[in-house]
Amino acid sequence: MLRKTQALVLMVVLAGLALPLWADSNRGVREAGDYRIYYDVLPTSFLDAQVAQGYGITRSRGFGLVRVTVRKQLASGASEPVRARVSGQVGNLVGQANGLAFRELEVGQDRGYSYVAVFRYREEDSLRFNLSVNFAGQPLESLDFVARLSGE
C-alpha cells in the first residue's frame, strides 16, 4: 500500500510542476487517434526527497527525469489509462546519445500508468529526446523533441 501511495505522490508532484522554469518544449501532448500521449521532462531535484528515495531516483543537480503517460479518450469526454511500452534515448544536439531505461509506475488504483526514466545532463546543453511508445495494438508512435532543463 505504501508503494502505491508513493506512486500517487510522485505523479502529483510531477503533474503539479507547471513551473515557469521549464520551457513549453519540456512538456507536451501527442494525439494518436483516440489516444493521447503526454510527456514531460524535469530536473530530479524538483522531486520530494522521500518520494525520490522510495523509487531509487537520484535527486540531484545534473539528473533529469522524463515521464510518458498514455490515455484513451472516451466518447463521454473522460479518459482511461492505457499500458504502454516506452523506449528511447536522450542526447545532445551534436549526436551523442544514451539509452533510457523506462520503469512503469502505477498511479493509484485504476488511475493510470506512467513510464519514467532518469538521465544525466549538463545545464547548458539542449537535450534531444527520441522516444518510441507502443500501446493497445496501435502503430508505434515516435516522440522526438528538444528540451532544456535549468532553474535548479
Over its length of 152 residues, how does the chain's per-residue pLDDT go in tens digits? 445 444 444 444 444 433 333 344 578 999 999 999 999 998 998 888 988 887 778 888 889 999 999 999 999 999 999 999 999 999 988 888 999 999 998 876 667 899 999 999 987 788 999 999 999 999 999 999 999 887 54
State which CATH number among 3.20.20.10, 2.60.40.3340, 3.40.50.970, 1.10.10.10 fits the domain covering 2-147: 2.60.40.3340
H-helix or E-strand spanning residue 51: helix 49-54
Question: CA 135 to CA 71: how far, in whole Å?
Answer: 10
Q: Please name the amino acid found at residue 12.
A: V
pTM greater than the 0.85 cutoff:
no
Beta partners for residue 89, in sequence order: 99, 130
Question: CA 14 to CA 130: how far, in whole Å?
Answer: 21
Question: CA 122 to CA 101: how far, in whole Å?
Answer: 19
